[in-house]
């Protein structure tokens, strides 16, 4: 009885932890999304942008390395290749591990996606 109750509780808890979301940022000239477009488009290029930064003691910024800045960069790169949207965007945020992060906190973000021109 106890094992069954624990198993049911684990299934309910683990089943409720999964969520799928689509993020989208609409810049002035470029639309950036983690999903796909419902309208027709022609692919222009694969784009990857890396933004890195550094903080001392976890709160004194030497240089920034935020996900927002990387998103701004990917929109600018898309404009350079003549695209007006970046689709299927994948992103990863990098941070230093604990003992190192107390003194020297290196952080950054990598974003990649497909630059497209909507028709």
Q: Residue 26: inside a domain, yes or no? A: yes
**Strand stretches in 23-103, DSSP E:** 24-26, 31-33, 41-56, 60-63, 85-95
Q: What is the pLDDT of residue 56?
A: 75
pTM above 0.75, yes or no: no
Q: Which of 9-13, 17-21, 64-68, 86-90 has the lowest mean pLDDT?
A: 17-21
Q: Residue 32: inside a domain, yes or no? A: yes
Task: Give residue-wise pLDDT tens across range 55-92.
Answer: 777 677 777 778 888 889 999 999 999 999 999 999 88
Q: Residue 56: inside a domain, yes or no? A: yes
What are residue 63's DSSP bridge partners? 54
Q: Residue 16: inside a domain, yes or no? A: no
Q: Residue 67: inside a domain, yes or no? A: yes
Domain membership of residue 111 as a residue range: 22-118
Q: HSE on the CB side for 17, CA within 13 Å? A: 6
Q: Residue 14: inside a domain, yes or no? A: no
Q: Residue 13: inside a domain, yes or no? A: no
CATH code of the domain covering residue 84: 3.30.110.70
Task: Give residue-wise pLDDT tens across range 31-43.
Answer: 999 899 999 999 9
């Amino acid at each position: 009885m106890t094992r069954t109750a624990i198993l049911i509780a684990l299934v309910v808890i683990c089943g409720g932890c999964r969520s799928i979301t689509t993020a989208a940022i609409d810049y002035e000239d470029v639309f950036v999304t983690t999903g796909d477009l419902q309208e027709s488009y022609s692919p222009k290029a694969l784009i990857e942008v890396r933004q890195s930064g550094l903080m001392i003691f976890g709160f004194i910024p030497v240089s920034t390395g935020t996900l927002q800045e990387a998103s701004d960069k990917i929109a600018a790169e898309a404009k350079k290749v003549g695209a007006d949207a970046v689709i299927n965007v994948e992103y990863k945020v990098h941070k230093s591990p604990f003992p190192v992060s107390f003194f020297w906190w290196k952080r950054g973000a990598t974003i990649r996606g497909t630059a497209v021109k909507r028709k």
